[in-house]
Amino acid sequence: MSGPQCCSNPPTLDPASGAGHVEKIAGFNTYVSGSIQSNLTILLVSDVYGYEAPNLRKLADKVAAAGFYVVAPDFFYGEPLVRNKPDRPLPAWIKDHGPDKGFEDATLIIDALKSKGVSSIGAAGFCWGAKVVVELAKVALILAAVMLHPSFVTVDDIKSVKVPIAILGAEIDNLSPPELVKQFDEILKVSEVDSFVKIFPKCAHGWTVRYDVNDTTAVSCANEAHQDMLEWFAKYVK
């Protein structure tokens, strides 16, 4: 379920990027943007490159500007994937940083947020993070979910989703090819869960957070997906 596309177009990580700041939540270094007074919180669960990716932080700031309190934790404990690292290839890295552990850690973040009085929480996951988010959606720990170019997510996962979910897929994606995303759509159409499924033509896996900021077409495609995500959260995270 993971492969070269999972690691393509790695970002240049920048711990100083973004208009927000980093603080500890449930013991995790977490990029935070927006005001907790909003009470409308969005948890962003990154892809394998982690919470210091500038485009992820830019998106967090965009979501915050729409009126949400946004948290993007470091679920990799300071060890995001480093591409082509001989002593730490993806299969070895993923053993220590599986989405199952990410799910456990995400529940700690949600508990910490609720202890601060936050009651309305949605979550979006990118690639690796989508598996974490679908697990949260299966136990209704969030009000709404968005998965963007998901990895590791199965038909059985989708059958168990209990909250409104949007799935944004890419036409060029070996991890969740259009055929699989269409299967997800068919399952959701006959379920009691509200859903929105969209496949972006000519886009490749990772396009929503690993785009080239100097490529106007790539930026436009990413922005379209971001807007779909924002509209979904505006509808269900209240």
Report the alpha-carbon distance of residue 228 to residue 192 in Å, rounded: 21
Report the alpha-carbon distance of residue 41 to residue 72 in Å, rounded: 11
Q: What does the DSSP 8-state code read for residue 36?
A: G
By the 8 A CB rule, do 30 and 20 touch?
Answer: no
pLDDT at 9: 75
pLDDT at 128: 97
pLDDT at 1: 44
Please check whether the domain covering 4-236 is classified as CATH 3.40.50.1820.
Answer: yes
Specify the pTM: 0.96
Residue 10 C-alpha from the chain's centroid: 16
For the chain, give every domain's residue range: 4-236
Helices 128-138 and 99-115 cross at an angle (nearest 10°) of 60
pLDDT at 4: 57
Helix (H, G, I), strand (E, B) or coil at 108: helix
pLDDT in tens, the chain (238 residues): 455 567 777 778 888 889 999 999 999 999 999 999 999 999 999 999 999 999 999 999 999 999 999 999 999 999 999 988 889 988 999 999 999 999 999 999 999 999 999 999 999 999 999 999 999 999 999 999 999 999 999 999 999 999 999 999 999 999 999 999 999 999 999 999 999 999 999 999 999 999 999 999 999 999 999 999 999 999 999 9
pLDDT at 99: 98
By the 8 A CB rule, do 130 and 148 touch?
Answer: yes
Q: Which amino acid is at 187?
A: I
